[in-house]
């Protein structure tokens, strides 16, 4: 199977077309690129976790979500976090 791009999230970074990219290279063979980081030979489950973690990290770095733990200095209570739709998260 030819390697294909399955999903992209974010803005161009380090010369790559998106911040986080998910590739599939075969049955249960995936890879995730996050900036200069490239994780390959991932199973479906590991790729899903890696892609999700990278998207959430990038969103936090871009100020789209508050990733502080409850009780941490300056962290709002759960009720104080504004819920946003996916369209608002896409840079």
The reported pLDDT for the residue numbered 17 is: 63
Is pTM beyond 0.75? Reply is no
Torsion of CA 40, 12, 3, 52, to 10 degrees: 50
In the block, tokens 């490239």 appear at 38
- For 57, the 3-state DSSP assignment is helix
Q: Given strand 37-42, what is the order of strands in its sheet?
A: 4-9, 20-26, 29-34, 37-42
Number of domains in the chain: 1
The reported pLDDT for the residue numbered 81 is: 46
Which residue range forms the structural domain that includes residue 53?
Answer: 4-89
Read off φ and ψ for residue 78, nearest 5 degrees.
Answer: -55, -40
Ranges under pLDDT 50 in the chain: 77-81, 83-84
């Amino acid at each position: 199977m030819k390697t294909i791009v399955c999903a992209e999230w974010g803005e161009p970074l380090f010369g790559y077309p998106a911040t986080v990219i998910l590739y599939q290279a075969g049955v249960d063979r995936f890879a995730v690129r996050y900036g200069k980081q490239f994780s390959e030979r991932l199973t479906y489950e590991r790729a899903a976790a890696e892609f999700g973690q990278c998207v959430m990290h990038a969103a936090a770095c871009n100020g789209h979500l508050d990733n502080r733990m409850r009780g941490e200095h300056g962290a709002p209570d759960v009720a104080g976090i504004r819920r946003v739709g996916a369209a608002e998260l896409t840079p």
